[in-house]
Amino acid sequence: MKIGVADYGMGVWDGGSFDVEDRLEGLKGIGYEGIERLTAVSEADALHKSARFRRLGMGFGYCRGPEPQASIQWSAGLGRAYVWSDVASGRNEDFEVYCRRVNRQAEVCRKWGLRLGLHNHLGQRVQNHDEVVAFLKNCPEVGLVFDTGHLAAAGGDPVEIIRNYPDRLVVMHIKDWLVTAPDVGLDQWPRRGHFCELGAGNLSGFSNADVLRALQAVGYDGWIFVEHDTHLQEPLKDLAISRRFIKEHSGW
């Protein structure tokens, strides 16, 4: 089991990622073991950054290159296990066409010894519980980069997905959701609320403590990435709170 950070929100707070070693050292200091993406612009950059991760004793989930083919090949070359699905995924995409394209990417990933993972997300083609289930049925080779906060915010039950589809979990994104404008609909979800540190959300019936217990019950042993899309204070403070939450509720 490894606990890392999907550091999108850190980039939003900082205005970008300007020094990956500085970011890794800060996260290591509060108990994390890596970040999800090594982002590279060339083969040499991917190799150089991978060496820097290793020197610091930190890991990463996959390598994101400038286009999908590079992400697949560089991730395979660096010994990773998966990449994200990378086809058009807006809410208005035709579902059958979307699944066909994802299945094609999965075929290519298989040739490179990689697994393809879908990241369920508010405002995208696979947003709610029924859509996740339908996607898993229509894309049998594809797993989930499973986001608890996005599914719960869309009214879904992350624990049920974990219990029913443990073999489809590629990696986990653990996050909480704070509704601040309940009269705003999901079609305007960035105005409805924001993602926050673990334990600070207010979704009725949803708890990441239950998610962690469910993961333990099914024997999950992959990466768990904490993600805060929105930080209202220095990100390391929020992320330290979430790291303590995971330790308290799982022992990990």
CA distances in angstroms from 208 to 67, 152, 172, listed in the order given: 33, 10, 12
DSSP 166: G
Closest C-alpha among 184, 249, 236, 210 to residue 28: 236
Which amino acid, 240?
Answer: A
Domain region containing 164: 2-250
Q: Report the 10 Å Cβ neighbour count for 94.
A: 10
**Per-residue pLDDT of the chain in tens (252 residues, 90 and over written 9):** 899 999 999 999 999 999 999 999 999 999 999 999 999 999 999 999 999 999 999 999 999 999 999 999 999 999 999 999 999 999 999 999 999 999 999 999 999 999 999 999 999 999 999 999 999 999 999 999 999 999 999 999 999 999 999 999 999 999 999 999 999 999 999 999 999 999 999 999 999 999 999 999 999 999 999 999 999 999 999 999 999 999 999 999
How confident is the model at residue 107, as a pLDDT? 98
Query: Read out DSSP for 107-132?
Result: HHHHHTT-EEEE---TTBSS-SHHHH
The predicted model scores a pTM of 0.96
108's CB contacts (< 8 A; 6+ apart) are 72
Which two tokens mark 157?
Answer: 């039950």
Domain with 45 in it: what CATH number? 3.20.20.150
How confident is the model at residue 206, as a pLDDT? 96
176-179 and 193-196 as β-strands: parallel, antiparallel, unpaired? antiparallel
- Cα(208)–Cα(75) distance, integer angstroms: 29
Residue at token pair 């108990």: 31
What's the number of domains the chain is made of? Answer: 1
How confident is the model at residue 105, as a pLDDT? 98
Q: Report the 10 Å Cβ neighbour count for 121.
A: 18
176-179 and 2-5 as β-strands: parallel, antiparallel, unpaired? unpaired
- Cα(207)–Cα(220) distance, integer angstroms: 18
Closest C-alpha among 171, 221, 199 to residue 5: 171
Q: Under a CB-based contact definition with an 8 Å cutoff, are residues 246 and 211 in contact?
A: no
